[in-house]
Amino acid sequence: MTSTTPHPHDGQYERSERIGDDHVGTSVNTPMREDAFVLSDQEKMDRIEPLFREIMNVMGLDLRDDSLSGTPKRVAKMYVQEIFKGLNPANHPNCKTFENSYGYGEMLVEKDINLNSTCEHHFLPICGKAHVAYISSGRVIGLSKINRLVDHYAKRPQVQERLTRQVAEALKDILGTEDVAVVMDAKHLCVSSRGIEDEGSATITADYHGAFKKESVRREFLDYIRH
């Protein structure tokens, strides 16, 4: 007789499948274990390398081939020290602020910031542009630091909605102002290269705070990034 008792993890699996297909994020903060940084970068790479080697073996790839033999090590280094280096708070950019001594009181917009991240549901690339603006409350930040801030939070397994909010919250904290806006426009390879395989679509997310909640201020910001 065949048992009809559901497996205890069936519900969890179905939920994870639904979240992955719907591209839903579960929290504003990146989900991390408390012991996430007990291992050094080198120890993490040493553990990832044989695990990825096993994945390649299971797929039937011949790791004796010169082109493939070094791939597990390259992937391990890429995960820890490159595309996911933003997981480690030690890699957060030093975003020193300065007094707004020239009294600039209008919004500052940094647009078309290169955005390269990774979808946390399928570990496929997210590629696009970020547009960031703020109105100084007395402090300003070097322009390149805004780019570095976007890059830091992008270098994690991400959901675009979370990434947008993380950049906005970080900038608010650094500058001591609520007047911050972030818009991101990106393509997801988990949409274009698998599943529906829609290569033409893009995803736009936005996070507006303080003065940017006013329609006129928000419209001014959007006009800037459109031109």
Catalytic residue among 49, 95, 110, 122: 122
Question: DSSP string spanning 75-93?
Answer: HHHHIIIIITGGGSGGG--
Which of the following is catalytic: 49, 120, 158, 209? 120
Q: Which residues contact 131 (CB under 8 A, 6 or more apart)?
A: 109, 110, 111, 112, 113, 182, 183, 184, 185, 221, 225
Q: Which of 49, 110, 121, 131 is catalytic?
A: 121
Residue among 49, 95, 158, 190 flagged as catalytic = 190
Copy the structure tokens of residue 59. Answer: 């797929």
Active site residue 92: no
Whether 188 is a known active-site residue: answer yes
Write the DSSP symbol of residue 36. Answer: T
C-alpha–C-alpha distance, residues 82 and 91, integer Å: 11
Tell me how far apart the alpha carbons of residues 87 and 89 are, in angstroms, rounded to a whole number. Answer: 6
Overall residue count recorded for the chain in this entry: 227
Q: Is 127 an active-site residue? A: no
Catalytic residue flag (residue 95): no
* Phi, psi for 131 (deg, rounded to 5): -125, 125
Among 49, 95, 110, 188, the one annotated catalytic: 188
Q: How would you label 80-108 residue by residue, b for 16+ Cβ within 10 Å and e otherwise?
A: bbebbbbbbeeeebebeeeeeeeeeeebb
Active site residue 227: no
Please tell me which residue in 119, 152, 166, 209 is annotated as part of the active site: 119
120 is catalytic: yes
- The answer to whether residue 9 is catalytic is no
Mind telling me the catalytic residues?
Answer: 119-122, 160, 188, 190
